[in-house]
Structure 1
Amino acid sequence: MNIDRFLWQSQQRMFYPWLALMCLGWLMVASASTGIAEFYTGNAAYFAVRHAVYLLLGIVVVYAISQIPLMWWSKVDVVFLLLAIAGLVLVFVPGIGHEVNGSQRWLNLGIIKIQASELAKLAAVFYVAGYLVRRQDEVKQQWSGFLKPLGILAGMVFLLLLEPDFGAVVVLMGAVLIQLFLGGVKAGQFFLLLIATLIISVVVLTSESYRVERLMAYLDPWAPEHVYGTGYQLTQSLIAFGRGDWFGVGLGESVQKLFYLPEAHTDFVFAIWAEETGLMGGIAALTLLAVVIAQIWRVSWNAQLKGQLYGAYVAIGIASLLGLQAVINLGVNIGLLPTKGLTLPFFSYGGSSLLVCCVMVGIVMRIAHESEQASDADTDVADNNGGAV
């Protein structure tokens, strides 16, 4: 039996950086969650144990998803999109939808609660990738090819804003814009859509009073009217970064995680890591995350060179989702962006977020595997024809 036939994932260049990223994320959560876990459950390791379980499940998910051929995804991408839209609707159904911190974003499946937007973002990436392949000429030459997918995605954006989940809207639209741009949409159409998206974002941002308050707190979080209100999370996060200095206060020695910084093990886990390990630890963590995202871009490039456009577009979308979410989360943590409830991929606590990220990694590994198989096939053809393909 050829074991490489079943364990080829470990031969992928992104496998060990991804595994290191998962382990580092568990270390972050384990350290950042001790205070809140002790207070609410009496067990300081409660969230660390749960995250470890999700980590192991994530590894299983990567191996399982990477066995699914891209051809299968291309056949079901429209069905996947419809199911994702149904999920966005079901969050509003009593008994199925679950409210957290005033937002109706979760599907209660009993043993696990899934954030519907996580599946919706991935479904949108698959749908746009399939659309770009199926309608390639129409997308490049006609306005209809450009506008049709946007009409469907507009419905998803509307449902996400009802939850509300403005952060997911920004990530989803950003990833789709990158896919469309790299998929061959005319520059004029792309920039027109970009301007329209920015205008709509400004309108949405100023349409709700709590969003305006967050924006004002972001501009001056230390103002007396903000420092203990809407700017509280940001000021406490900045304090954590300041305490971290160059090399941190020591792993597990954070003060900010002791009920000063809300969501310390989820949205603001990086602030606690920076407090405990300093600038050097923060740079090390971000470098590892950047390596994984860069590897996904490399997979996309290789797939495109082999003519596997569907896999290339999917990988582009996944790299964009992870990259944009990381940028927004880090921007919020350090005060460059207004506060939004977005997790840091692979680092923040959250079962559904981690598992969906692992699904993405499994898909990318499959794309890389099929690209390598195409390379091997080309080599065999060249050998059989005396070196000419």
Structure 2
Amino acid sequence: MKRPLPMPPNHVDPLLAGASLGLVVIGAVVVGSASISLADRDIGEPLYYLLRHLGAVGIGCAGAFIVAAVPTDVWYRLNGFVLLACVVLLVLVLVPGLGQTVNGSARWLGLGPVRFQASEPARLLLLTYVASYAVRHQADLLTSFWGFLKPMFIVALVCALLLAEPDFGAAVVVTLTSLGILFVAGARLRDFVLALIIAASAFGALAVNSAYRLERLTAFLNPWSDPFASGFQLTQSLIAIGRGEWFGVGLGEGVQKLFYLPEAHTDFVFAVLTEELGFVGASFVVLLFAFIVYRAMAMGQQAIREGMEFQGLLSTGIGLMLGIQALINIGVNTGLLPTKGLTLPLVSYGRSSTVVTLVALGMLMRVHRELSAVQQVTAKRRPKQ
């Protein structure tokens, strides 16, 4: 692996930073609008969720600055510790007394007054490990099915721990992101397709064999058949999206968030956003996500061409993770996918997700700085025409 050369300390990607800032600002505005009535009714403090969301943004920005100052080679060399931390987090959340159950899922760890969702940092840690594995064992990955299968065993272990919580959506994101990293790293197409078929079959069997997941699946296929029970969330989301039309009903003027739409400030914040800002506002948010994913993937390819394989795969993995999660959340809100319980990164209220997403973007900023430094040196070494 080629190590990055020294770089200017303030070299950042202004377009990536601008798109990220745009989502943070939109998220704060929409979380405030979606949660104000709920917070006033349940807690007596209208700005309760907004202030906590802004606190998470502050912590996440601090984490992003710290991570952006750490050479990516550190994460590469600490790959064993990274994997251990991922597994330990997911095991601890299942330990009685340590893990905390919310809405029937044991996804939370409490450290004194601080509570966080363990699967969020675990996902980032796992993709970092998979990227390092693909670089360290590239020869095996290119030539043998066993080289492809070994990291997938680890991914399967992580998915089993996630499903034990249960967190089906996170398991899907982890699997697809890991497969994407290995494919970009050069895994053979037949190995990739076979693993994809096995993963799809396994998740399909889990969905059919669980009464809870099967109910969600059937509700997604025809929510109007039972609009006041199993299809309630989706029908209310579709009503909100339909009311938005082209330009929305106006910021703060949405109706569905007023105790009609469950989880209005978390899982279904995109529906609230569309109702109040319309198709134009929703499309702008989608474009911001698309640009971040494109920028991360393009940066990944540039890094790989410069011999920075780990940085390239890390950037690719972060882009895939954010893109897949955003796609699933928007798909759920619009009725294209069954409910998964995933937040919309940087936009939904979800402090663990917000902090980890900003830290991941800090990693992207670091990759950009290191890539720029290498490209500058490469340009200087080119013979003048």
In structure 1, distance between residues paired with 2:156 and 2:384? 50
The 3-state SS of whatever aligns with 2:78 is: helix
In 2, Cα distance between equivalents of 1:277 and 1:249: 7
Alpha-carbon deviation of 1:52?
A: 1.5
Partner of 1:359: 359
Q: What is the 5 A alignment of 1:91-130?
A: 91-130=93-132
Which segment is superposed worse, 102-111 or 156-165?
A: 102-111
What's the counterpart of residue 43 of structure 1?
A: 45
Distance in 2 separating the partners of 1:101 and 1:303? 42
Aligned counterparts of 2:39 and 2:236: Cα–Cα separation in 1 = 19
* Structure 1 counterpart of 2:10: 7
Kept in 2: contact 1:12–1:365 (CA 8 A): no
- Residue 5 of structure 1 deviates from its aligned partner by 4.6
**CA shift digits 1:263-322 (9 cap, x unpaired):** 100000010010111111111111122222221112112211211010011111111100
Matches within 5 A, 1:226-265: 226-265=226-265
Aligned to 1:220: 222
Per the alignment, residue 211 of structure 1 pairs with 213
Aligned partner of 2:32 among 30, 33, 51: 30
1:184 aligns with 2:186: yes
**For residues 359 and 71 of structure 1, what CA distance do their matches in structure 2 show?**
16
Which 5+ residue runs of structure 1 have no aligned equivalent? none
Kindly state the Cα deviation for residue 111 of structure 1 after the two structures are TM-superposed: 3.2
Q: How far off is 1:351 after superposition? A: 1.1
Q: TM-score, normalised on structure 1?
A: 0.94
Determine which of 163, 175, 178 is the counterpart of 2:177.
175
Work out the CA distance in 2 between the residues paired with 1:172 and 1:287. 23
CA distance in structure 2 between the aligned counterparts of 1:64 and 1:291, rounded to whole angstroms: 24
- Describe the superposition over 1:97-120 as per-residue Cα deviations: whole angstroms up to 9, x where unpaired: 111110011111233322111122
Counterpart for residue 325 of structure 1: 325
Distance 1:222 1:8 in 2: 52
- Is contact 1:253-1:276 (8 Å) kept? yes
Q: Distance in 2 between matches of 1:289 and 1:250?
A: 22
Normalising to structure 2: TM-score of the pair?
0.95
* Offset of residue 259 of structure 1: 0.7
Q: Deviations over 1:163-182 (max 9, x none)?
A: 11110011000001111111
How many residues were matched structurally? 379
Partner of 1:184, secondary structure, is coil
Q: How big is the shift at 1:6?
A: 4.3
- 1:199-219 deviations in Å (ceiling 9; x for gaps): 111111111101111111111
Sequence identity, in percent?
42
> In structure 1, how many angstroms separate the alpha carbons of the residues matched to 2:14 and 2:65?
12
d(CA) in 2 for partners of 1:192 and 1:6? 44
One-letter amino acid of the counterpart of residue 371, structure 1: L
Q: Distance in 2 between matches of 1:114 and 1:332?
A: 24
Moved more, 287-296 or 361-370: 287-296
Partner residue in 1 for 2:61: 59
- Residue 202 in 1 paired to residue 212 in 2? no
Residue identity opposite 2:204 in structure 1: V
- Alpha-carbon distance in 2 for matches of 1:255, 1:283: 21
For residue 138 of structure 1, what is the aligned residue in structure 2? Answer: 140
Aligned partner of residue 266 in structure 1, secondary structure: coil
2:315 maps to a residue whose letter is A
Output the CA distance in 1 between the equivalents of 2:195 and 2:274: 37
State how far apart, in whole Å, the 2-side matches of 1:104 and 1:229 are: 24
- 5+ long unaligned stretches in structure 2: 1-6
CA contact (8 A) 1:62 1:362 kept: yes
Specify the SS of the correspondent of 1:13.
Answer: helix
Q: Which amino acid aligns with 1:249?
A: V
Secondary structure of 1:55's match? helix
Provide the C-alpha distance between the structure 1 equivalents of 2:125 and 2:85, rounded to a whole number of angstroms: 9
Q: Relative contact order (alpha carbons < 8 A, sep ≥ 6): 1 or 2 greater? A: 2
Q: Distance in 2 between matches of 1:112 and 1:334?
A: 33
Match of 2:149?
Answer: 147
Q: Distance in 2 between matches of 1:215 and 1:59?
A: 37
Distance 2:378 2:288 in 1: 33
Conserved 8 A contact 1:107-1:115: yes
SS across alignment from 2:341: coil
Measured after TM superposition, the shift of residue 81 of structure 1 is 1.2
Q: Is the 8 A contact 2:155 2:178 kept in 1?
A: no
Instruction: Report if the CA contact (8 A) 1:104-1:163 is conserved.
Output: yes
Residue number in structure 1 paired with 2:163:
161
| Counterpart residue type for residue 20 of structure 2 | W
The separation in 1 between residues aligned to 2:74 and 2:314, in whole angstroms, is 13
